[in-house]
Copies of this chain bind each other. A is one copy, B any other.
Amino acid sequence: MLYADENSFDIGAKITRTKPVLLPIGAVEAHGPHLPLGTDNILASEYSARIAAETDGFVLPVLPYGQVWSLQDFPGSLTLSNETVTKVVVEIGESLYKQGFRLFVPVSGHLGNMAALKDAARELYAKYPDMIILHIFYPNIQKLAMDVREGKANHHTYIHACEIETSLMLYLSPENADMSRAIDDPPILPIDADFTPTPWQNFTKTAVLGEATLATAEKGEYLIEKTLKTCVELIKLEQEKIRKSTEME
């Protein structure tokens, strides 16, 4: 299941057009006092492993650097440009295509990567129309979060080091969440935050966008299992498309 654990002699037999290849992508980014800088890498890796387990997919090594514009000035954060993230993903996609794969699934644990992934997907689609690229960030999690959130929603799309993301960690990697240091710091976002470049230090000192103390593994389980189900459905749908187009050839 872990692509990099395979060897060159044996992997050939496992390469098929419908095999999903999952690329976990995260970031090194401030996540408050209770979660590590590598939170999004851990989540992307664990989540990808779950998807792979249900779809007999390969999990590539995590790409642990992402686009961290909003939090780049917080201690410890590292950022790549959108352009560079796109290039890396496109070139990995090209390599996979040449290897014979046709279903490439970048799975981000970090919302900031999604614009780059969408660009990468379109670029690959233009070059290799017979490869399908699924770009995934916990499908529909914003809606599902309403079902479990006890604290305040601070923004229609952000989930960061808060009740929600901490819950994901408590379910997927509890040993990496130090709840003894969890804090609540729901910010008031300025009304222009979505309309003008707004580094997050403008409205939070902690990078905890909510009430981390409200996080539970149960909430994480709900969100992961629900979104995971969608991921599996999406992959099966794409596999079906590939099968049909292969038959038609």
Binding site for B on A (CB under 8 A): 2-12, 15, 28, 30-38, 41, 60-65, 69, 72-84, 87-88, 91-92, 95-96, 98-99, 115, 118-119, 121-122, 125, 132-136, 139, 178, 181, 190-192, 194-197, 206-207, 230, 233-234, 237-238
Contacts and interface: CB of A to CB of B under 8 A. Distances in A.
Interface of A is mostly: loop
A113 to B, nearest CB: 13
A82 to B, nearest CB: 7
Given A4-B38, A4-B41, A80 B76 contact: no
Given A5-B38, A7-B37, A61-B64, A121 B32 contact: no
Contacts of A79: 91, 95
Contacts of A81: 87, 91
B28 A7 contact: no
Contacts of A60: 28, 64, 78
A28 B61 contact: yes
Contacts of A87: 81, 83-84, 87
Contact of A196 (B11, B35, B37, B121): B121
A78 B30 CA distance: 30
Q: Could you say which of A2, A64, A75, A77 has the most chain B C-beta atoms within 10 Å of its C-beta?
A: A75
A197 B194 CA distance: 24
A126 to B, nearest CB: 8
Nearest to A30: B8
